[in-house]
Amino acid sequence: QSSEKPGNIYLIFLFVLQAPKKAKKKIEGGSNVFSMFEQTQIQEFKEAFTIMDQNRDGFIDKADLRDTFAALGKLVNEELEDMVKEAPGPINFTVFLTMFGEKLKGTDPEETILNAFKIFDPEGKGHIKADYIKEMLMTQADRFSQEEIKQMFAAFPPDVSGNLDYKNLCYVITHGEEKD
Classify burial at 5, counting beta carbons within 10 Å of its beta carbon; exposed 0-12, middle 13-18, buried 19 or more: exposed
Other C-beta atoms closer than 10 Å to the C-beta of 1 total 8
Query: Identical fold at 8-20+28-106 and 110-175?
Result: yes
Q: Please say if the pLDDT value at position 155 is more than 70.
A: yes
In 22-156, where do the E strands start and end?
A: 127-129
Q: What is the CATH number of domain 110-175?
A: 1.10.238.10
> Which residue did the predictor score with more confidence, 124 or 107?
124
| CATH superfamily to which 8-20+28-106 belongs | EF-hand (1.10.238.10)
Nearest to 8 by CA among 161, 163, 157, 115: 157
Where would I find the H helices in 39-177?
39-52, 62-71, 77-85, 93-105, 110-118, 130-139, 146-155, 166-175
Residue 12, number of CB atoms within 10 A of its CB: 21
Question: In sequence order, what E strands does the chain have?
Answer: 127-129, 163-165
Q: Which pTM was predicted? A: 0.51
CB 128 within 8 A of CB 77: no
Mean pLDDT along residues 103-128: 77
What's residue 5's pLDDT?
A: 42
Sign of CA dihedral 23, 108, 29, 31: negative
Contact call for residues 93 and 53 (beta carbons, < 8 A): no
Phi and psi at 66, nearest 5°, equal: -60, -50
pLDDT single digits (tens) 23-75 = 334 444 445 778 877 788 788 788 888 888 889 999 999 888 888 877 766 66
Bridge partners, 60 (sequence order): 91
Query: Given this model, what pLDDT does residue 131 score?
Result: 92
Domain positions in the chain: 8-20+28-106, 110-175
CB neighbours of residue 106 within 10 Å: 12
